[in-house]
């Protein structure tokens, strides 16, 4: 089953055409690593999928429902329902600084009354345990390291039981040592068969953890295939040039 | 003039000063917040009109505004006869209008300081615009604004003295009269101490709030 279908997606900022003609599918449980040079439109694509950006043309289908059909969006209520199938993790974590770690996790599900508070707290404890931060449950975000913040952000996204997780450069703001602890959590999610799209510059991680590499340049998808094919046996000059520059 | 007598007069004067201070700070904080929302509204006209109000209030002397409300408003055609206030009300209205504008600007600064990522995180977590505003944005906006709110409150303590110009006997007016009659300046010292202590208490109070809501 396709979790995500994108068909002929187009997106411009003013005169700047950022996404030109994007089509791809993501199946259930697949882990996609999105690579490509700076400015190629990776973030814009990811943000379009969860409606942080509105696209100008084409379609986005999430688990069989149109988030956007030929450039037209359904009413906000429908959009919100589709958006709720997905979670997103940002480069700069975007934790709520005025709340404890626990409140960061439970505030949104509490508002949506998905479960009683004591159940949410139990779930919050289980997730923090999973990302290795159960002892930080009452800490303030400002007292955490970057890697810890990002793991809290991942746990926060998981509180809402998303079917799909989107990551926009989740480790780009982190030291190598802290990068590892975050990537390990993401690998764990991959083993749990979470459907994920991860924009990253960590080629090694993409090779190891991803089922497919989505390679972008200038608003196009240049290649969308297994890591083996894209990263090891590629005859495309631009991809090889990119890989040489990164490694 | 006896000591007891001038202490009682000075207390009455300080009470008026305190009344004006608290009326102004409470009401203009609330109206200031509302004004910020109007100013940052997506509706162009609402935003323009609010901006114009803030420009007038910050761009003209508070003293002129006090005179205008007390002496000027009753002369307005048609509605003037409904705008005749007693001295205290007129003074308070002018102070509130003026401080509302300043507090609106302070809150707007607080809003601007909040990273767009906060809105985006709230959105992808499924919060509505209202939930985002009240649970995520406002608490951070208040925290960021506290030092400026405190500063403005201390300025207000001293600005209250302007109210003597429309014939109200606040602490400063009483003090002046006493010094005139007793030819002794100790009343000035007492008044200075009063303003000083009030400012000091406010400083401590806001420091406490800043600590309490630190993150
Ligand atoms: N809100 C915006 N308004 C105008 N232009 C934008 C906006 N967001 C992105 N762009 C432009 O769109 C292009 C693609 O940006 P995008 O952030 O999607 O690239 P990216 O592949 O994520 O790059 P990076 O690796 O640097 O994060 C860039 O030229 C960028 O300047
Ligand atoms: Mg990006």
| Superfamily (CATH H level) for A25-56+75-85+164-247 | P-loop containing nucleotide triphosphate hydrolases (3.40.50.300)
Give CA–CA dist A239/A243, Å, rounded. Answer: 6
B17 pLDDT above the threshold of 80? yes
Band of the pLDDT at A235, cuts 50, 70, 90?
A: confident
Sequence spans of domains, chain A: 25-56+75-85+164-247, 96-162
> If you average pLDDT over residues A94-119, what whole number do you get?
96
Q: Taking 90 as the threshold, does the pLDDT of residue B4 lie above it?
A: no
SS3 (DSSP) at A231? helix
- The residue among B120, B132, B125, B117 whose CA lies nearest residue A165 is B125
Helices (H), chain B: 3-39, 44-59, 62-67, 87-112, 116-124, 129-131, 138-159, 171-182, 186-212
**CATH code linked to domain B2-212:** 1.10.3720.10
Range with the poorest average pLDDT among A172-181, B109-118, B147-156: A172-181
**Using one digit for the tens of pLDDT, what is the confidence trace for A5-38?**
999 999 999 999 999 999 999 999 999 999 999 9
pLDDT at A186: 96
Nearest CA in chain B to A88: B124
Please check whether residue A105 is in contact with residue A155, taking contact to mean a CB–CB distance below 8 angstroms. Answer: yes
pLDDT digits (tens, 9 = 90+) for B167-193: 898 999 999 999 988 888 889 999 999
Residue B167 main-chain phi, psi, to 5 deg? 80, 20
pLDDT at A226: 95
CB neighbours of residue A135 within 10 Å: 9
Question: In a mutational test of the pocket of ligand 1, which residue from A43, A168, A198, A214 has the highest number of ligand atoms less than 8 Å from its CB?
Answer: A43
Which one of A88, A94, A173 would you mutate to disrupt binding with B, by most B Cβ within 10 Å of its Cβ?
A94
Per-residue pLDDT tens over the stretch B118-128: 999 999 999 99
- Rounded to whole angstroms, the Cα distance separating A165 from A154 reads 9
Contact B124 A142 (CB under 8 A): no
Give the global pTM: 0.91
Residues of B in contact with A96 (CB under 8 A): 118, 121, 136
Least confident of A164-168, B2-6, B113-117: B2-6
Contact with chain B for residue A107, Cβ under 8 A: yes
CA–CA dist B44, B35 (Å, integer): 14
**Residue A208: predicted pLDDT:** 92
Instruction: Please report, for chain B, the start and end positions of each structural domain, with discontinuous segments joined by +.
Output: 2-212
Q: What is the mean pLDDT of residues B143-154?
A: 96
Average pLDDT over residues B66-72: 96
State ipTM: 0.94
């Amino acid at each position: 089953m396709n979790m995500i279908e994108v068909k002929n997606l187009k997106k411009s900022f003013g005169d700047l055409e950022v996404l030109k003609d994007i089509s791809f599918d993501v199946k259930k449980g697949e882990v996609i690593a999105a690579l490509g040079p700076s400015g190629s439109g990776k973030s814009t694509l990811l943000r379009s999928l969860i409606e942080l950006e509105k696209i100008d043309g084409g379609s986005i289908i999430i688990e069989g429902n149109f988030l956007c059909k030929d450039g037209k969006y359904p009413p906000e209520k429908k959009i919100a329902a589709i958006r709720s199938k997905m979670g997103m993790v940002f480069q700069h974590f975007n934790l709520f600084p005025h709340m404890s770690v626990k409140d960061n996790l439970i505030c949104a599900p509490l508002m949506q009354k998905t479960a009683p508070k004591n159940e949410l707290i139990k779930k919050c404890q289980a997730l923090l345990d999973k990302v290795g931060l159960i002892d930080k449950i009452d800490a303030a975000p400002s007292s955490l390291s970057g890697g810890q913040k990002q793991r809290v952000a991942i746990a926060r996204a998981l509180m809402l039981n998303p079917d799909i997780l989107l990551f926009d450069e989740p480790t780009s703001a982190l030291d190598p040592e802290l990068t590892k602890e975050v990537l390990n959590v993401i690998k764990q999610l991959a083993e749990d068969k979470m459907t994920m799209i991860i924009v990253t510059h960590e080629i090694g991680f993409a090779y190891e953890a991803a089922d497919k590499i989505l390679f972008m340049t200038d608003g196009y998808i240049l290649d969308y295939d297994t890591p083996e094919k894209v990263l090891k046996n590629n005859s495309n000059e631009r991809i090889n040039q990119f890989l040489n520059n990164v490694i | 003039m006896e000591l007891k007598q001038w202490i009682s007069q000075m207390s009455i004067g300080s009470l008026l000063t305190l009344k004006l201070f608290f009326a102004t700070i409470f009401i203009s904080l609330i109206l200031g917040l509302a004004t910020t929302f109007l100013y940052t509204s997506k509706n162009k006209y609402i935003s323009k009109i609010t901006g114009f109000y803030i420009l007038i209030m910050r761009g003209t002397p508070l003293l002129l505004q006090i005179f205008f409300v007390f002496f000027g408003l009753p002369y307005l055609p048609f509605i003037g006869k409904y705008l005749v206030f007693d001295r205290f009300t007129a003074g308070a209205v002018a102070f509130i209008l003026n401080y509302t504008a300043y507090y609106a600007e302070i809150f707007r600064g607080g809003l601007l300081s909040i990273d767009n990522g906060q809105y985006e995180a709230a959105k992808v977590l499924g919060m509505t615009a209202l939930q985002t505003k009240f649970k995520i944005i406002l608490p951070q906006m208040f925290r960021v604004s506290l030092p400026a709110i405190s500063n403005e409150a201390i300025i207000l303590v001293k600005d209250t003295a302007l109210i003597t110009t429309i014939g109200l006997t606040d602490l400063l007016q009483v003090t002046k009269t006493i010094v005139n009659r007793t030819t002794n300046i100790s009343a000035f010292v007492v008044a200075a101490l009063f303003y000083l202590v009030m400012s000091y208490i406010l400083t401590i109070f806001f420091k406490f709030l800043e600590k309490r809501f630190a993150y």
